[in-house]
Amino acid sequence: MSNGEIIIDHEQEKKELLTRYKKLIKALGPAIKSKQDQERVHKAFEVAVDAHKEMRRKSGEPYIYHPIAVAQICAEEIGLGVTSVICGLLHDTVEDTSLTLEDIQSMFGGDVTKIIDGLTKISGVFDQTSSIQAENFRKIILTLSDDVRVILIKLADRLHNMRTLDHMKRDKQLKIANETLFLYAPLAHRLGLYRIKTELEDLSLKYTQPEIYEDIINRLKKSEDVRKRFISSFNNPIKKRLTEQGFTFEIKGRTKSLYSIYNKMVNKGIPFDEIYDIFAIRIIIESEGENERSDCWRVYSLVTDLYRPKPDRLRDWISFPRGNGYESLHTTVMSPSGKWVEVQIRTRRMDDIAEKGYAAHWKYKEKGSESNVDEWIRKVREILENQEENAVDLVESFKLDLTTDEIFLFTPKGELKTLPNGSTALDFAYDIHSKLGDTCIGAKVNNRLVPISYKLNSGDQVEIITSSKQTPKEDWLKVVKTTKAREKIKGSLKEEKRKVAEDGKEIFERKLRHLGYNYTEADITKILKYFRVNTSQDFFYKVATGGITNHEIKQFYKDESSKSWYSYLTTKLRRKSPDKKQDKTSLEDLIKETKRDGDTLIIGEDDVKLDYKLSTCCNPIPGDEVFGFVTIGDGIKIHKTTCPNAMQLMSNYAYRIVKARWTNRESLAFLAGIKVNGFDEVGIVNRITKIISNQLKVNMRSISFDTSDGLFEGQIMVYVQDTHHLDDLMYKLRQVPGVITVIRMN
């Protein structure tokens, strides 16, 4: 450093660039099939270096290191080829430098240009600085079927950004990490990129829950030597049996991901030490063609001969591969020391697809065949091209399709179908064909007659029953689970409404002729206000269905003849029903006012100018890391950064997020919830309440205890000063004899 300036060693940076380039070429390896391929990659490298030569990242390092890292991930971790690596190197050039698409076209041709164009179009949504804007979401996902490499390169881009997130400000880290959990990780999962999905989740946990992240890492480090010895002794008998049977194999030990461990701790309310399947082993065998499936089952038989399996933990994704092409046998077995161990069994091909997802799927795909991934992408395009759903609802419903477990179903002819868990007979009908769904009146499931709302189970054989008189109903939207079925029903209802509205328009015009009136566009505007409907289609639909009678139409024209009455009526209606534009403006004004009032909202100050409330969904208290969310009617709602709703709010409404922190004032009381579990002993409740009220002088708002089979579960709402006060209380409660767990409720 000199006078606050960074001294840059240009020679060292040139050497580093050369090292990184050589590493990239090595990662591409067999994908470079000719001298021309190598020349194109080298040219893309030189163009990217020149275009970004004046740019630096937040860390101070040259910006070009980022596109090289993205290209490296594409080649090494996803298994993409030369074209994708070129696009990885150039992915930011059109948006951030003077290069144009025309320049890319002239230098690298059509394929590269098409992908760079796709990357540039969605850069405002998928980048490290701006939030996912739900209204652009459909456009992003539609690129899946144009060229899936656009999304794969963007996932590589996000992965590198997550790996280098340390240099961003705290509020940016939170927003980016929540976006990643909300959409990127599920998308990576759906495309079969399990390793990338796991790393995205773990890195997100690092920034959303840093203390828990460090705690889990430290606990895993402490138990690492014990774990290695255990896995070695567990594996040795398996290795011996596999060798005796002539298998060529590899066995890998795998620790459960940090995010999976965290999820189990939160969802099941159990401490780290009680998570039984914290590690797993993966057996990868060399087998090809028609022998793959039978060889995997032979290995399963050898393993379960050695160790007793847990009956309800067998997962057969060989007979029924997941929608993203994932194939593997999973079982959980009991070790001699009494610990449960998950065992995964797969072939080298299956492992390649599990690690590299869509890219590996293409490597093994037979010519002309369609995989589950292709079918899913086709369905996605079909849904999104026709959808008119609220953009935020679309993100939610699509994310549900990304993350929900699948069930396997059969048609009457034995054809296999996959649907999200919880799907109904009506979902199945729409999955086969929209006409079948529109006319569905019920189904036969395993030869038993069931209603359209019947929830299907894996393995069911389903025959759809139809009637030509049946049409979609509004309440069907409550029956279906899948986005495809929901959008098809909405489309059918809208088309039906349009036809009815056309009849209504004829009825209306006929009535006006009878009354001797003509109507203009200005009249329609007044009519919509008078009858409180949003569109002319809504008005004509009500006319056709009797919602607006001839008498009411006649009355409108009588009222219209009196301008003073009309003026009074429209003013009254305007007061009652402000239009959406006015709502939007008031929200924008509120956000501007909030952000103009200061960079950070200080919670607990007497002279605070802005109206805020503590959110009841997570009950934040001093010491919790928090943020503010601007609402229309309730001022600013204060949420914990770990609130169950934080991920969605930060991903879809980033422009309404304001920074917030607690004041240093003490003596304020905040409501917090504690859940206590333990053995139902005489006097246990008395001992707990004495600790709270007598020893710590904490006020309780409510307390409830339920007992079952010798165990109790209690929920206590208490007033505390801050997180330290709450932690002290929880520590004291854990010391009470008979208490097993004490956790904070959201």
Alpha-carbon gap, residue 500 to 447, rounded angstroms: 38
327 Ramachandran zone, left/alpha/beta (phi>0; psi -120 to 50): beta
What residue has token string 């009411």?
552
Q: Nearest Cα to 643, choosing from 661, 664, 629?
A: 629
Give, for 282, the enclosing helix (H) or strand (E). strand 279-285
Q: Nearest Cα to 635, choosing from 652, 615, 621, 654?
A: 615
Interacting residues of 216 by C-beta distance below 8 A, sequence separation 6+? 258, 261, 262, 272
Q: Cβ(720)–Cβ(698) under 8 Å? A: yes
Tokens of 620: 């934040």
- Give me Rg for the CA atoms of the chain: 31
Interacting residues of 387 by C-beta distance below 8 A, sequence separation 6+? 138, 394, 483, 487, 490
- Is the C-alpha dihedral spanning 198, 199, 200, 201 positive or negative? positive
Q: Which of 37, 96, 503, 559 is flagged as catalytic? A: 96
Q: State the CB neighbour count (10 A cutoff) for residue 652.
A: 22
Tokens of 26: 């090595």
Q: What are phi and psi of 240, to 5 degrees?
A: -60, -45
Q: CA-CA-CA-CA torsion for 728, 730, 736, 741, nearest 10 degrees? A: -150
Q: Nearest Cα to 80, choosing from 144, 24, 16?
A: 24
Task: Note the Cα 408 to chain centre separation in Å.
Answer: 23
User: What length does the chain have?
Assistant: 746
Residue 230 has, within 13 A of its CA and on its CB side, a CA count of 20
For helices 258-268 and 210-222, the axis angle rounded to 10 degrees is 110
Alpha-carbon gap, residue 67 to 82, rounded angstroms: 14
Residue 418 three-state SS? strand
Alpha-carbon gap, residue 680 to 739, rounded angstroms: 9
Alpha-carbon gap, residue 529 to 537, rounded angstroms: 14
What residue has token string 């025309």?
102
Alpha carbon separation from 631 to 153, 404, 471, 729 (Å, rounded): 36, 30, 40, 34
Q: Cβ(193)–Cβ(357) under 8 Å? A: yes
Alpha carbon separation from 15 to 65, 608, 728 (Å, rounded): 12, 54, 54
End-to-end CA distance of the chain: 46
Q: State the CB neighbour count (10 A cutoff) for residue 287.
A: 22
Q: Is 96 a catalytic residue?
A: yes
Tokens of 207: 């920034």
Residue 740 three-state SS? strand
Q: Which of 16, 95, 559, 680 is flagged as catalytic? A: 95
Q: Nearest Cα to 188, choosing from 77, 107, 270, 269?
A: 77
Which residue(s) pair with 601 in the sheet?
660
By annotation, the residues acting in catalysis are: 95-96
